[in-house]
């Protein structure tokens, strides 16, 4: 029996959204002080439960706004659920919002060290991995350029190369591959496969069902914040493709 590495139990999250439009920040502040701001709240996730076993590649699929990124952020500890619990065993390398860990004014090289520190690596560990990161991202000629001048594909190459140094227990990949060109996507898929062979568990979000089929062995299908189906890739994709 394989070990459970992520356990999501009855997770719900409620967001508050302001339902009015304000003409200026000043108007917003005045209304806030007068307590005239009205919110409507909605459940972005409702009673979501699933387990991920060690070495699984779990795909999260569903239409726009179904809650895929939100559940990944809860698993990565970026958001706290309103109800329910998440148990995670091991170190997570999260590739969630493209460029979230980057400082636009710093160069590619400086951002490698900044991101390494955010992921918990020491300066000397990062020095050892630096060549590999530059080679994998194929950004040799851009490491001295501030990343605000990078294209989204270049940013995703660098982010992916940094997040996949070492062998994390859990790798979270949210749509990051979709901005890379097809050749780079293939390179990333190969690296994910190698990591999985070394025991890394992968949580993967993509709108490309082909990519999900290639990478994942299990799927959670989210629909309006609820689990519509959870099972093997083939059976879930078959149903999903019918909608
Ligand atoms: N911080 C937030 N505050 C308010 N609402 C939010 C917040 N984050 C997400 N939402 C809302 O929660 C719902 C789920 O969003 P989420 O980004 O998880 O969906 P998704 O399935 O990843 O969508 P997509 O396929 O478009 O990336 C959406 O309706 C979104 O507008």
Which residue's CA is minimally distant from atom 1 of ligand 1? 15
- The mean per-residue pLDDT over the stretch 116-144 comes to 92
What's the 3-state SS for the chain? CCCEEEEEEEEEEEEEEECCCCCCHHHHHHHHHCCCCCEEEEEEEEEEEEEEECCCEEEEECCCCCCHHHHHHHHCCCCCCCEEEEEECCCEEEECCCCCCCCCCCEHHHHHHHHHHHCCCCHHHHHHHHHHHHHHHCCHHHCCCEHHHCCHHHHHHHHHHHHCCCCCCEEEEECHHHHCCHHHHHHHHHHHHHHHHCCCEEEEECCCHHHHHHHCCEEEEEECCEEEEEEEHHHHHHHHCCC
State residue 89's pLDDT score: 94
pLDDT of residue 142: 96
Average pLDDT over residues 63-67: 94
pLDDT of residue 98: 67
Write the ipTM: 0.95
Q: Is the CB of 17 under 6 A from ligand 1?
A: yes
Percent over 70 (pLDDT), the chain: 98
**Residue minimizing CA distance to atom 7 of ligand 1:** 15
Q: Which atom of ligand 1 is nearest to the CA of 63?
A: 25
**Which CATH number belongs to the domain containing residue 42 in this structure?**
3.40.50.300
134 pLDDT higher than 80: yes
Given a cut of 70, is residue 144 above it in pLDDT?
yes
The percent of residues in the chain predicted with pLDDT above 90, rounded, is 58
Q: Bigger pLDDT: 99 or 57? A: 57
Q: Report how far ligand 1's centroid is from the alpha carbon of 67 (Å).
A: 6
Task: Decide whether any atom of ligand 1 lies within 6 Å of the 67 Cβ.
Answer: yes
* pLDDT at residue 200 in the model: 93
Domains: count for the chain: 1
Q: What is the pLDDT of residue 120?
A: 83
pLDDT above 80 (res 18): no
State residue 100's pLDDT score: 74
In the prediction, which pLDDT does 38 show?
A: 76
Of the ranges 45-59, 113-127, 176-190, the best mean pLDDT one = 45-59
Q: Which of 19-28, 132-141, 221-230 has the lowest mean pLDDT?
A: 19-28
77 lines ligand 1 (CB under 6 A): no
Average pLDDT of the chain to the nearest whole number: 90
List the domain range (segments joined by +) for residue 163.
4-240
Distance 130 CA to ligand 1 centre (A): 34
> Does 140 score more than 90 pLDDT?
yes
220, pLDDT greater than 80: yes
**pLDDT digit string (tens) for 176-193?**
777 778 888 888 888 888
Average pLDDT over residues 94-111: 86
Q: If pLDDT is split at 50, 70 and 90, which confidence band does 19 have?
A: low
């Amino acid at each position: 029996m394989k070990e459970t590495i992520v356990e999501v139990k009855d997770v719900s999250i409620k967001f508050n959204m302001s339902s009015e439009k304000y003409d200026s920040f000043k108007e917003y502040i005045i209304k806030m002080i007068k307590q005239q701001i009205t919110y409507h709240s909605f459940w972005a996730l409702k009673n979501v439960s699933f387990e991920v076993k060690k070495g699984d590649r779990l795909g999260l699929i569903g239409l726009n706004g179904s809650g895929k990124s939100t559940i990944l952020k809860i698993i990565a500890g970026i958001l706290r659920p309103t109800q329910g619990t998440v148990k995670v065993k091991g170190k997570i390398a999260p590739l969630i919002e493209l460029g979230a860990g980057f400082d636009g004014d710093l160069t590619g090289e400086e951002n490698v060290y900044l991101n390494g520190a955010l992921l918990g690596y020491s300066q000397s560990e990062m020095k050892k991995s630096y060549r590999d990161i530059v080679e994998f991202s194929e950004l040799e000629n851009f490491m001295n350029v501030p990343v605000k001048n990078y294209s989204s594909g270049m940013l995703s190459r660098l982010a992916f190369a940094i997040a996949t140094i070492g062998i994390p227990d859990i790798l979270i990949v949210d749509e990051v591959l979709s901005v890379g060109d097809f050749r780079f996507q293939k390179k990333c898929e190969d690296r994910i496969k190698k990591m999985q062979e070394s025991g890394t568990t992968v949580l993967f979000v993509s709108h490309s069902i082909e990519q999900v089929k290639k990478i994942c062995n299990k799927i959670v299908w989210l629909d309006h914040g609820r689990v519509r189906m959870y099972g093997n890739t083939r059976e879930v994709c078959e149903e999903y493709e019918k909608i």
